[in-house]
Amino acid sequence: MFETLSDRLTSVFSSLRSRGRLSEADIDATCREIRIALLEADVALPVVKAFIARVKERARGAEVSQALNPAQQVVKIVHDELIEVLGGETRRIRFAKTPPTVIMLAGLQGAGKTTLAGKLAKWLRDQGHAPLLVACDLQRPNAVQQLTVLAERAGVAIFAPEPGNGVGDPVAVARQSIDHAKRKQYDVVIVDTAGRLGIDEEMMRQAADIRDAINPDEVLFVLDAMIGQDAVNTARAFMEGVGFDGVVLTKLDGDARGGAALSVRQITGRPIMFASTGEKLEDFDVFHPDRMASRILDMGDILTLIEQAQRTFDEREAAKMADKLASGESFTLDDFLEQMMMVRRLGPIKNLLAMMPGIGQFRDQLNQIDDRDLDRIAAIIRSMTPEERRDPRIINGSRRARIARGSGVSVSAVNNLVVRFLEWQKMMKRMTQGMGFPGMPGGRK
Ligand code: GDP
């Protein structure tokens, strides 16, 4: 996501780096480059124009700063303006004073509404809420079934019409769900609605009827970031047809160029509240304009990385591992597997590394990282007996062949892993105690 835009902008800035002072012509040339980069990223023209006008005005008026050189000043101005265009402050859910808080989702079919409903429910549950998912998409075959599965995975309750009861009336289902939530004391109701492939009056009417029936505290418009320039028209149509309070951008893990994210706030006046970055329930987070701006400018997003780690890792689990290392006990393949799985739970390694500042220049290498390599290593270790995991030195030719068969890799891949692990274990022993976590030995097939 945002890769091309990010590359373009960082290269614009790197050509500025050597300049001592910025002339009027430098500012104009830089702004021209930024303009092209934004247009190529599918940012809506009026948004680009306003953006460039503000950057130009501020760059011209920029005071001579002791702390920042002229190029850094331009980067700072662009950073500030990106935050602004992305919505400024992080906008959080406004909970109703008297529960339940009612959240309604609207958007085109395929935008990721149903998936998002599950993600939002899990996220709320993790924060101590008792959410109720409501299936009002009675149009798309399987939508109810899909939401039921998601609810189960997220560990939350669902309110859905009985299967086989004809098409059903989504407005009635929505209305009944609120009574149900009150009776059963669910404090947040998330209503999934039907979308169509394109903008469609009937769909808008139905969404508006549901809205009128349940009077939601938040209507969230779910927008597929991959649809490029169509995003703006779709957002406008939903703004007119249903109205919404906030936007959820989905599929930010794909190669969306960023136009939707950078345009939707300015075009609709509504903030982006959440971002969806994958198909799994965990691939979801609050949208922070400042962090996103930093990522676009390749300044990294360490805050998100730390939060993800805190959310994912059990402190005791990490402490146990650290104790083990510090005590000088030998680190076995089981420990190694456990540690690798801990890192793996944080999400795709590529996404993790993408949050490091300055990673942009290593993008090619980054794209070669394949999580399947880690999964392959895990499969190899899992095909070993407990005894082999404790002491891989006993792995002889026939054991190697058995492990290779069990994990579906070549014998040399098994050998490679064992040799590397033993070398690394030796190195660990030689190292003094209390050095913290070791790095992981790699391993390719
Ligand atoms: P709906 O019609 O709006 O309810 O859309 P769905 O929730 O069924 O999602 C449509 C497709 O997009 C499904 O295959 C989802 O798995 C996928 N999807 C949803 N959100 C994301 C996301 O953030 N990233 C990716 N890569 N896929 C997503």
169, 115 Cβ separation under 8 angstroms: no
Provide the β-strand partners of residue 193.
Answer: 136
235 Cα to the center of ligand 1, angstroms: 18
Query: By mean pLDDT, which of 16-25, 49-58, 278-287 is the weakest?
Result: 16-25
User: Is the CB of residue 250 below 6 angstroms from any atom belonging to ligand 1?
Assistant: yes
Q: What share of the chain is helix, strand, coil (3-state, %, to 5)?
A: 55, 10, 35
Domain 312-430 = CATH 1.10.260.30: yes
3-state secondary structure at position 292:
helix
Q: Is 193 labelled as part of a ligand binding site?
A: yes
Q: Is 429 labelled as part of a ligand binding site?
A: no
Bridge-based pairing state of the strands 272-276 and 284-286: antiparallel
3-state secondary structure at position 134:
strand
Rounded Cα–Cα distance for residues 423 and 420 (Å): 5
In the block, residue with structure tokens 């005590």: 327
110 Cα to the center of ligand 1, angstroms: 6
pLDDT at residue 305 greater than cutoff 50? yes
Rounded Cα–Cα distance for residues 143 and 191 (Å): 12
35, 29 Cβ separation under 8 angstroms: no
Specify the amino acid at residue 168. Answer: G
Condensed to tens digits (0 to 9), the pLDDT of residues 188-203 reads 999 999 888 777 888 8
Residue 432 confidence (pLDDT): 40
pLDDT at residue 388 greater than cutoff 90? yes
Take residue 324 and report the two structure tokens written for it: 């083990």
Rounded Cα–Cα distance for residues 437 and 395 (Å): 26
- Terminal alpha carbon distance of the chain: 29
| Domain 101-299 CATH class label | alpha beta
Rounded Cα–Cα distance for residues 341 and 271 (Å): 36
259 Cα to the center of ligand 1, angstroms: 19
Q: Is 250 labelled as part of a ligand binding site?
A: yes
Q: Grade residue 19 by pLDDT with cuts at 50, 70 and 90.
A: low
391 Cα to the center of ligand 1, angstroms: 44
Q: Grade residue 65 by pLDDT with cuts at 50, 70 and 90.
A: low
Phi and psi at 197, nearest 5°, equal -70, -35
What secondary structure letter does DSSP report for 155?
A: T
User: Is the CB of residue 348 below 6 angstroms from any atom belonging to ligand 1?
Assistant: no
Tell me the domain boundaries of the chain.
3-85, 101-299, 312-430
Average pLDDT score over residue span 234-260? 90
Tell which CATH architecture fits domain 3-85. Answer: Up-down Bundle (1.20)
82, 290 Cβ separation under 8 angstroms: no
- Residue 268's alpha-carbon distances to 127, 260, 264, 295, in angstroms, are 30, 11, 6, 23
Per-residue buried b or exposed e for 390-406, using 16+ beta carbons within 10 Å of the residue's own CB: eebeebeeebbebbbee
User: Is the CB of residue 276 below 6 angstroms from any atom belonging to ligand 1?
Assistant: yes
Rounded Cα–Cα distance for residues 410 and 162 (Å): 50
Take residue 421 and report the two structure tokens written for it: 């692990």
pLDDT at residue 433 greater than cutoff 50? no
Rounded Cα–Cα distance for residues 34 and 269 (Å): 23
User: Is the CB of residue 255 below 6 angstroms from any atom belonging to ligand 1?
Assistant: no
Rounded Cα–Cα distance for residues 47 and 260 (Å): 11
Rounded Cα–Cα distance for residues 244 and 91 (Å): 14
- Residue 109's alpha-carbon distances to 199, 394, 411, in angstroms, are 10, 56, 47
Average pLDDT score over residue span 290-312? 77
Question: What is the interface pTM, i.e. ipTM, of the complex?
Answer: 0.98
219, 245 Cβ separation under 8 angstroms: yes
Helical (H) or strand (E) element with 33: helix 24-40
Rounded Cα–Cα distance for residues 199 and 227 (Å): 13
pLDDT at residue 352 greater than cutoff 50? yes
- Minimal CA–CA distance to 23: which of 77, 66, 60? 60
Say which residue, 356 or 386, is predicted with more confidence: 386
Percent of the chain's residues with pLDDT above 70 = 86
Closest residue (by CA) to atom 19 of ligand 1? 112
Condensed to tens digits (0 to 9), the pLDDT of residues 122-181 reads 999 999 999 999 999 888 778 889 999 999 999 999 998 876 554 578 999 999 999 999
- Minimal CA–CA distance to 115: which of 219, 291, 265, 249? 249
Provide the β-strand partners of residue 131.
Answer: 188
User: Is the CB of residue 351 below 6 angstroms from any atom belonging to ligand 1?
Assistant: no
| 3-state SS, one letter per residue, for 231-288 | HHHHHHHHHHHCCCCEEEEECCCCCCCCHHHHHHHHHHCCCEEEEECCCCCCCEEECC
For the CA of 109, the closest atom of ligand 1 is: 2
- Minimal CA–CA distance to 252: which of 235, 273, 276? 276
